A and B are shown apart, each in its own frame.
Chain A
């Protein structure tokens, strides 16, 4: 507690003098005997690790062959981190594809959309190692923003850890004008270095707000206040004076989770396949049939309103029955995003699992993991109630 209060103060005092300092050179003016928290900064890439060709390029960066920001660059570019933590970097980015042949267009799409279960496994295993590593006090993971909520949720479910794990990214590339990356990263490191951040599950910190991995989701394509816990709220803030927590999550996570990366199928390719289907006026059932024929183990239907698939002879409800007859588990989320899918007598009779207030992509991950343990609807319902 004392340390966490002292450091921001020192950091404020020295902000200007240090701006020109070299990476991780600890200035002699820090109080003697002060032990900085040891933070591992683990890169899974993302916009925060991307460079644009100009400062105004905040939309068309990255891609095969494009220059990237290596973890060492962050440390060099952001000397302020040296005042709040002793940083060790680790690089878990996927290998970069070669640049496109001359005259061909580079493929579009953000880096985060390409996160694979192999990468999630690698990072989860590493986090599990770091949990037992006495030389590490907290971990920051960078990630592209598009699917970072899913990745953070995966870690929240399968890594047994009490020390802080904080996911961070940015909406503008590291080189962008008024880029949010540097302050996001500094604050994520501060949160990871805060004792009160321990035991609260995997956290997310961007735009000075701290959200739990379970509830946070991306709500805006480009704005910097994109991450929100929708109808819940932030649990804390990273203000210049102090990192302050106002609430803690209630649902099971990390060290309270019954799941662990070590007990999942060793090969991520053998994780039960679960896919998502969207509901809308006249949404056809044959998309669900296609997944059934493909042999998936679970289907998430992102229902209208309170979690309703479409009806009618060609609708989703009939296709769900056909899927269930083949042993496929079906869970429903609410496309309204705010609000829980409730347990009603009719839904219970239908055997469809209500996915609480999870987004479909998070319900998918929980179902994938839950299906490694059970296919019993009652037990699956319990899992969705508790996590």
Chain B
């Protein structure tokens, strides 16, 4: 699973961070953290303080976000890069590539300690996982959002953003891949998923749990994720302008094969099945015969997919314990490298 011995990876991560830390210590200044804003509830305004849903009464600019949080001045020097100001449902390959390239450019600078990304929570886990696979740096990258808009009573955004910047400025956060922070809890992008429509504790890593906590006294880490990510990832998006089309099909009793057939007809390169149905069998065979890669995920939300030898022999790929939306992200990147089933399965085993 891990190509490099963990000690070597850690040493590398430390070295990367140390370079940034030393250069900011030389100026006697706080670490520089780049704030990439993409939008989301954390940058949304409601008509009044009681509006906890259906808030679309204006956007919060990056400057408003920072002016709202003078406490950040004690933690880091923030520099803003605005990517977009949209809800997370509108996130797309163009923006993902723009974001990842932007982060790579900034983190390559010795004076930058880490990055924070604001994002809507709906598809936050997808963007975080995409960055986990494409950021070429061991410096901390923390994706943050909010469950309550900027204008709401007891909004969670400010403390989430404050803690995200603290984590991005913490040496111990280096080499842990991209992280997600809401509700004081530090999650690995690889494991985390949104688990509730409105509660502030919505982000969980079902069986694997968080990596640590951003408590008032300290950032306390308990786990380091294994598997390949960021600095040890083989994916390179520096020359990519688009990503292969991959879509997701849900399985249930008597599920119609029509969506699979329609996707094949539309020319997708890959299909992720969230669970399956016996009625899919013919359509899957058709898809595979046309060179469409089919990955098997599961709708239960935790646990690995174990394929029978027969299924694996037919070229079906196990998504390990990735949910459908994350398996899709990995497959899009994997298809930029290979369409060979064995190699794709290796990738799903390692990331």
Q: Is the CB of B224 within 8 A of A233?
A: no
A250 B223 Cβ-Cβ under 8 A: yes
Q: Is the CB of A343 within 8 A of B218?
A: yes
A229 on the B face (CB < 8 A): yes
Q: Which chain B positions have C-beta within 8 A of A356?
A: 220
Determine the chain A residues whose CB is within 8 A of the CB of B225 once the complex forms.
Answer: 246-247
Which A-chain residue is minimally distant from B7 (CB atoms)? A199
Given B1, B172, B205, B303, which contacts A233 in the complex, CB threshold below 8 Å?
A: B205
Give a binary string over B218-236; 1 marks a CB under 8 Å from any A CB, 0 the rest.
1011111111000000000
Assess whether B54 is interfacial by the CB under 8 Å rule: no
Report, as a range, how many residues of chain A touch the other chain. 20 to 34
A237 within 8 A of B: yes
B130 at the interface (CB under 8 A from A): no
How many chain B residues sit at the interface, stated as a range, is 20 to 34
Bound together, the chains give a CA A245 to CA B2 distance in angstroms of: 10
Contact yes or no, A247 B1, CB < 8 A: no
Q: Which residues of A contact B210 (CB under 8 A)?
A: 231-233
B217 and A215 contacting across the interface, CB-CB below 8 Å: no
Asked if A371 lies at the interface with its beta carbon under 8 angstroms from chain B, I say no
Query: Residue B241 at the A interface, CB < 8 A?
Result: no
A247–chain B nearest beta-carbon distance, Å: 4
In contact, B217 and A247 (Cβ under 8 angstroms): no
Measured CA separation A209–B321 after assembly (Å): 14
Would you list which residues of chain B between 257 and 289 have a CB under 8 Å from chain A?
none
- The answer for the CA separation of A239 and B307 in the assembled complex, in Å, is 12
- Interchain CB contact under 8 A, A247 and B306: no
Q: Is B254 engaged at the interface, CB distance under 8 Å to the other chain?
A: no
Q: Which residue of B lies closest to A240 (CB)?
A: B306
B304 touches A231 (CB 8 A): no
From residue 305 to 335 of chain A, which have CB atoms closer than 8 A to chain B? none
Residues of B within 8 A of A251 (CB): 222
In the complex the two chains form, is A231's CB within 8 Å of B216's CB? no
Let me know if A244 is at the binding interface, CB within 8 A. Answer: yes
Also in contact, A247 and B208, with CB within 8 A (given A340-B215, A340-B220): yes
| B142 contacts partner chain A, Cβ-Cβ < 8 Å | no
Q: Which secondary structure dominates chain B's binding surface?
A: loop
Chain A contacts for B218, CB-based, 8 A:
343, 385
| A283 on interface, CB distance cutoff 8 Å | no
C-alpha spacing A248/B216, complex, angstroms: 24
**Which residues of A sit under 8 angstroms from B206, Cβ to Cβ?**
233
- B residues 46-103 in Cβ contact with A at 8 Å: none
Chain B 304-334 interface 0/1 with A at a Cβ cutoff of 8 Å (1 = within)? 1010000000000000000000000000000
CB distance from B6 to the nearest CB of A (A): 7
Given A234-B208, A239-B306, A340-B215, the answer on whether A196 and B1 have CB atoms closer than 8 Å is: yes
Question: Are A246 and B220 CB-contacts (below 8 A) given A234-B208, A239-B304?
Answer: no
Flag if B209 contacts A229 (CB, 8 Å).
Answer: yes
Asked whether A250 and B205 contact (CB < 8 A) given A245-B1, A342-B217, A343-B218, the answer is: no
Q: Complex Cα distance A233/B211, Å? A: 9
Closest Cβ–Cβ distance, residue A13 to chain B (whole Å): 10
Q: Is the CB of A248 within 8 A of B224?
A: yes
**CA–CA, A141 and B294, complex, Å:** 42
Report how far A199 CA is from B224 CA in the complex, Å: 13
Contacts of B217 in A (CB 8 A): 342-344
Cross-chain contact of A247 among B211, B213, B220, B304 (Cβ < 8 A): B211
Chain A residues lying within 8 Å of B223, measured Cβ to Cβ, are 232-233, 235, 247-250
Contact of A241 with B by CB under 8 A: yes
Q: Known contacts being A229-B209, A232-B209, A246-B226, is A237 close to B304, with CB within 8 Å?
A: yes
- Could you list 13 A-B pairs, sorted by A, with CB under 8 Å? A196-B2, A214-B222, A215-B222, A233-B206, A233-B209, A237-B304, A239-B304, A241-B306, A246-B191, A246-B226, A248-B6, A342-B215, A344-B217
Q: Which B residues have a C-beta under 8 Å from some C-beta of A?
A: 1-2, 6, 172, 188, 190-191, 205-213, 215-218, 220-227, 303-304, 306
A-B pairs, top 3 by smallest CB distance, nearest first, are A233-B209, A343-B217, A233-B208
12 further contact pairs, Cβ within 8 A, besides A233-B210, A237-B207, A247-B223: A196-B1, A196-B2, A215-B222, A231-B209, A232-B210, A232-B223, A235-B223, A244-B304, A247-B208, A342-B215, A344-B216, A344-B217
